[in-house]
Structure 1
Amino acid sequence: MNNFRQYEEAIAKYHSGLSVKTVPISSWNFHNDFLGLIKNIFVDLKKLNSLASQSKWIHDNWDLKTRLREEVIILTDTKLNIVFASHNMIKMNGYVEAEVLGKNPKIFQGAATDLTVSNEIRTAVMLQQPFEKTVMNYKKNGDVYACLIKGFPVFNSKGQLSHYIAFEKAA
């Protein structure tokens, strides 16, 4: 019994000598947010890799993991219906994936969207060419924001158009 008391006293003495005595509970929220972000990146990466594997994509080395940290990724089918949107889209425009699946990316556009830029994007899509444009888009709450979009056609192993992928960030 005496050994336990000495042990507890030694531990108490050690902890009383530390400069940081406690960790603020608020720091746990930051850690939890960070873990949620990392988890979402891996969930999104797994979905994209699954879609790429199923569709037998031939693509550039896009480094999707890094892009998922820094940009929003939207993937459409050949009819331009959204089939994937990364979790971080909510930070940029307030939408979650479930709200945009099956819809056309035009849902982000409105009166402030420049028709000339929209037509240039449409032309690039029809010609199956990559493009980079800044578009005035709308958030879920109606606020306007400038969105830099880098879009690419994605082809399968037979050379057929499979999807369009867009890497987006607020400009």
Structure 2
Amino acid sequence: MRNLSNMMCLDIYLESLDAKEAIKIKKQIEPSIKNIKPLLSWDIANTRHSEVSKKEMDIQKIQAFAKKYNWKNDIDAIFLKHHFEAIVLTDSLEKIMWVNEGFTKMTGYSKKFATNKHPSFLQGKMTSKEQKKELKSNIKKGTSFELAIINYKKDKTPYNCLVKIFPLYSNKITHFMALETQVK
């Protein structure tokens, strides 16, 4: 049974097509006005807006940590300049304090599982020794850096991860924040 809301969904779908595709499909569709019922509600799910909201909430969470620990870093500038899917916040000993939902989506590991672990639990046999050395060396230097590394998901699938690490400090380095993106 066709109803008006199904027809409206079809109209929205047709509008998203290029002209040739739309003409091809429109020829196959015969409009029917039998059994049309009035539209009672309208809802459009905007998944992009949802993702933006999640990122905004992640940034607000980091800003709350910044306030709590009195970081002198320009957190807003970091997030304006750098794209991310996952955020990993560690203490100065590199134990994970907090991860965002993007981390769980990327790795398959829950926030609860990751908390209090060292991020090295994501590494495996294809993670090169050079990558591990470079990571440790840059962390010891206490400066921001970017590194591509092979990590492993919960299901043991390897993935390429671009990691941007920022030391966070008040009078000294108190935490590290990693912004991560899975790369092809």
Shorter chain as normaliser: what TM range? 0.7 to 0.9
* More deviation, 50-59/125-134: 125-134
Deviations 1:106-131, CA, capped at 9 Å, x for gaps: 01001111111111111111121222
* Dislocated runs of 4+, deviation >3 Å: 20-24, 27-30, 32-36, 64-67
Instruction: Quote the RMSD (CA, aligned, Å).
Output: 3.1
CA distance in 2, matches of 1:30, 1:114: 46
What does residue 55 of structure 1 align with?
69
Q: Does 1:137 align with 2:151?
A: yes
Residues 152 and 166, structure 1, Cα contact 8 Å, conserved in 2: yes
Deviations 1:20-61, CA, capped at 9 Å, x for gaps: 83337xx99982744643443233222111101001111131
What does residue 162 of structure 2 align with?
148
| TM superposition score normalised by structure 1 | 0.74
Residues 45 and 65, structure 1, Cα contact 8 Å, conserved in 2: no
Residue identity matched to 1:41: K
What does residue 181 of structure 2 align with?
169
- Paired residue total: 149
| TM superposition score normalised by structure 2 | 0.69
What does residue range 68-147 of structure 1 map to in structure 2 within 5 Å?
A: 70-147=84-161
Which secondary structure does the structure 2 equivalent of 1:62 belong to? helix
Question: CA 1:160 to 1:39, structure 2 compared with 1: closer, same or farther past 3 Å?
Answer: same
Residue identity matched to 1:163: H
Listed as ranges, the gaps of 5+ residues in structure 2 are: 14-41
* More deviation, 115-124/33-42: 33-42
